[in-house]
Amino acid sequence: MSGKSDIWNHFIKKDLGALGGTCKYCHQEVKTKGNTTNLRNHLLRRHPTIKTVDDTTLDIVPVPDLQNVDNSDTESVASSTASTSVLKQQTLTSCLTNIKSFGDNGVKRGQITNEIVFMIAKDGLPLNTVEKTGFNYLMKVVAPLYKVPARTTITHMIDDKYDILSTQLKLKIQEVEALSLTADVWTDSHNSQSYLVLTGHCIYENK
């Protein structure tokens, strides 16, 4: 992202050097830690009717629906594209734009980083995956201009996404009339720790 986040349109920023801001709707002071996560969570909790926070703004990575993929459609689209595509030489401007997109605030860099975070969370991979030699070699092959983020960056991103998604889930649960709970014991194969897991079942928006 470039420039100031749109989330600041709903807050009055504190003086230079201070972290946080004051909500324009309830005048509550919200502290920040170098990012806008607390500001977003405040809007979700206290002002859920404000339609400013969506999946794109929050950088929430959607879960692909792998069960509903139609291979025949995919193959037909691929063959059609291959037969009609024409190779064109890139202009200097497009080349520079492509290089810039892999920079610190570039679009492609953000997309790839989000997918790495999704992969680690979805597959339960260790956070130091981004430090592995094989993974870095793979990224150099598929995206030579991409700079793999540090482990601490990935950790902070996962924490931020957890805060956002957990807040959204809590808001949805508040709208449910009845909730059925089941309990189960789950063991983490990575650190051999056992957990008591509660699973909630409900009808939400007739689904």
pLDDT tens, residue order, the chain (207 aa): 444 677 888 888 877 666 788 888 787 888 888 788 888 888 888 887 776 544 434 443 334 444 444 544 445 444 544 444 455 666 666 665 666 666 666 678 888 888 899 999 999 899 999 999 999 999 888 888 888 989 999 999 899 888 888 898 888 888 888 888 899 998 877 778 898 988 888 887 766
In this structure, is residue 78 part of a structural domain? no
pLDDT at position 65:
45
The residue range of the domain holding 132 is 88-176
3-state secondary structure of 186: strand
Cβ-proximal residues to 118 (8 Å cutoff; 6+ apart), any chain: 61, 63
- Same domain? For 109 and 155 the reply is yes
In this structure, is residue 204 part of a structural domain? no
3-state secondary structure of 79: helix
Distances (CA, A) of 190 to 93, 123, 194: 47, 12, 11
Distances (CA, A) of 95 to 89, 99, 123, 146, 187: 10, 6, 34, 15, 49
Query: Count of residues for the chain?
Result: 207
**Long-range pairs for 26-30: beta carbons < 8 A, 24 or more residues apart:** none
In this structure, is residue 132 part of a structural domain? yes
3-state secondary structure of 90: coil
In this structure, is residue 71 part of a structural domain? no
In this structure, is residue 118 part of a structural domain? yes
In this structure, is residue 101 part of a structural domain? yes
Count how many domains the chain has. 2
- Same domain? For 101 and 52 the reply is no
In this structure, is residue 74 part of a structural domain? no
Amino acid at 49: T
In this structure, is residue 191 part of a structural domain? no
